[in-house]
């Protein structure tokens, strides 16, 4: 009913039909069109139906589910198969707290995560990879001159969405993957914060490769985010972002909240026994605290041990 457009099909400009009501169309949606779908200059079609979404990647403005602002929910993209978590190894420095949040969002939305570490020419990946040892998280390293074949293979046949802080190199990467994309690329200011060069999400078809058959896939570039709020994820589901910890909780007492205040939480013994990295447990507990409005709102995604974390 919703045949995929091929690379030679025209690009159609369409607007939302009134009958869709308040339903909004987001990047990645598959839609039914009526009207002029020729793609000719000036032609305008109408979107009359949005297909059921296979996945919905959401984030909230803030973590705090106790305030209206905190609960404000945004759909980032629909129908993504893979969440490419883009983190620079330097300039701006990596934040494992941010990556952990993206992992929670990915598992919660049933989207496979891929860690994409950029600017590998500026710093090594050892610290970040060491933190995720127990996760067997797939990852790629990107430097300006790196061969992108391994990444292309991981993107083939699926819809992947790039998320990351501003200035980590998402658009730079998209321009390398899709040379005609012509995404604007910004500079990173001295304090290591990007300037939010990209302002809207854009889905691009990856070009076919001479040495590979089949669908090369789609890539969605998104504007940099300062934080990845998780107020929409239940406390219980937060744990799904920590597959290295989840197993331990079968030994927790009934109704254990897994916070540091829980005297008999099995996670403490799990970590003390060397089964998981104590920094991961600390990160999980920071997320739990942040959801209930505690924690440091200025730096919610900086874990102790991250570069420039100050401890």
Ligand X SMILES: Nc1nc2c(ncn2[C@@H]2O[C@H](COP(=O)(O)OP(=O)(O)OP(=O)(O)O)[C@@H](O)[C@H]2O)c(=O)[nH]1
Query: In this structure, what DSSP letter does residue 160 have?
Result: E
- Report d(CA 275, CA 151) in Å as an integer: 31
- Report d(CA 100, CA 143) in Å as an integer: 23
Question: Each residue of 70-87: b (16+ CB within 10 Å) or e?
Answer: bbeeebbbbbbbbbbbbb
Q: Which of 188, 203, 219, 245 binds ligand X (CB under 6 A)?
A: 188
239 interacts with, out of Mg ion, ligand X, none, CB within 5 to 8 A per kind: none
Q: Which of 20, 185, 256, 282 binds ligand X (CB under 6 A)?
A: 185
> Which CB atom, from 152 or from 170, has the smaller least distance to Mg ion?
170
Strand residues in the chain grouped as ranges (E): 14-16, 31-35, 45-50, 56-60, 73-78, 82-88, 112-118, 139-141, 159-163, 202-205, 218-221
CB atoms inside a 10 Å sphere around CB 64: 20
Q: How many residues bind ligand X (CB under 6 A)?
A: 25
166 contacts ligand X (rule: CB under 6 A)? yes
93 contacts ligand X (rule: CB under 6 A)? no
- Report d(CA 177, CA 60) in Å as an integer: 29
Classify residue 238 as left (phi > 0), alpha (psi -120 to 50) or beta: alpha
Q: How many residues bind Mg ion (CB under 5 A)?
A: 4
Contact 195, 166 (CB under 8 A): yes
150 contacts ligand X (rule: CB under 6 A)? no
Q: Among candidates 85, 179, 212, which has minimal Cα distance to 138?
A: 85
Site string for ligand X, 285-304 (x = CB under 6 A): --------------------
Site string for Mg ion, 153-172 (x = CB under 5 A): -----------------xx-
118 interacts with, out of Mg ion, ligand X, none, CB within 5 to 8 A per kind: ligand X
Choices 57-65, 154-162, 192-200, 298-306 (CB under 5 A): range interacting with Mg ion: 192-200
198 contacts Mg ion (rule: CB under 5 A)? yes
Q: How far apart are CB 116 and ligand X at their closest, in Å?
A: 10
295 interacts with, out of Mg ion, ligand X, none, CB within 5 to 8 A per kind: none
164 interacts with, out of ligand X, Mg ion, none, CB within 5 to 8 A per kind: ligand X
Count of helices and strands (H, E) across the chain? 9, 11
Site string for Mg ion, 58-97 (x = CB under 5 A): ----------------------------------------
122 contacts ligand X (rule: CB under 6 A)? yes
- Report d(CA 47, CA 3) in Å as an integer: 15
55 contacts Mg ion (rule: CB under 5 A)? no
229 contacts ligand X (rule: CB under 6 A)? no
242, with CB counted inside 10 A (0-12, 13-18, 19+), is buried
175 contacts Mg ion (rule: CB under 5 A)? no
> Which CB atom, from 201 or from 246, has the smaller least distance to Mg ion?
201
193 contacts ligand X (rule: CB under 6 A)? no
Q: What is the Cβ-side half-sphere exposure of residue 198, based on CA atoms within 13 angstroms?
A: 29
User: Interface with Mg ion by CB under 5 A: which residues?
Assistant: 170-171, 197-198
User: Interface with ligand X by CB under 6 A: which residues?
Assistant: 118-119, 121-122, 142-144, 164, 166-172, 185-188, 194, 196-198, 223-224
């Amino acid at each position: 009913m919703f045949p995929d457009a091929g690379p030679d099909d025209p690009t159609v400009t369409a607007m939302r039909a009134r009958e869709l009501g308040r339903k909004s169309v987001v990047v990645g949606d598959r839609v039914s069109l009526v009207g002029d779908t020729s793609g000719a200059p000036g032609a305008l079609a109408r979107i009359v139906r949005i297909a059921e979404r296979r996945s919905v990647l959401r984030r909230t403005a803030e973590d705090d589910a106790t305030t209206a602002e905190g609960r404000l929910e945004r759909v980032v993209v629909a129908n993504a198969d893979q969440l490419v978590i883009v983190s620079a190894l330097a300039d701006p420095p990596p934040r494992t707290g941010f990556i952990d949040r993206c992992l929670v969002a990915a598992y919660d939305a049933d989207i496979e995560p891929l860690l994409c570490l950029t600017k590998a020419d500026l710093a090594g990946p050892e610290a970040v990879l060491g933190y995720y040892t127990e996760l067997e998280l797939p990852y790629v390293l990107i430097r300006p001159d790196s061969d992108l074949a391994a990444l292309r293979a991981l993107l083939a046949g699926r819809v992947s969405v790039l998320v990351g802080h501003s200035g980590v190199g998402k658009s730079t990467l998209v321009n390398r993957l899709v040379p005609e994309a012509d995404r604007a690329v910004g500079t990173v200011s001295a304090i290591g914060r990007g300037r939010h060069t990209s302002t809207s999400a854009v889905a691009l078809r990856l070009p076919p490769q001479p040495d590979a058959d089949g669908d090369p896939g789609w890539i969605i570039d998104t504007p940099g985010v300062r934080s990845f709020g998780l107020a929409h994820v239940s406390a219980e589901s937060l744990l799904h972002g920590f597959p290295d910890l989840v197993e331990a909780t079968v030994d927790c007492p009934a109704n254990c909240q897994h916070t540091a205040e829980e005297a008999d939480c099995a996670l403490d013994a799990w970590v003390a026994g060397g089964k998981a990295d104590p920094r991961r447990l600390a990160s999980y507990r920071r997320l739990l605290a942040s959801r209930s409005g505690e924690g440091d709102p200025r730096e919610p995604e900086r874990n102790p041990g991250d570069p420039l974390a100050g401890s």
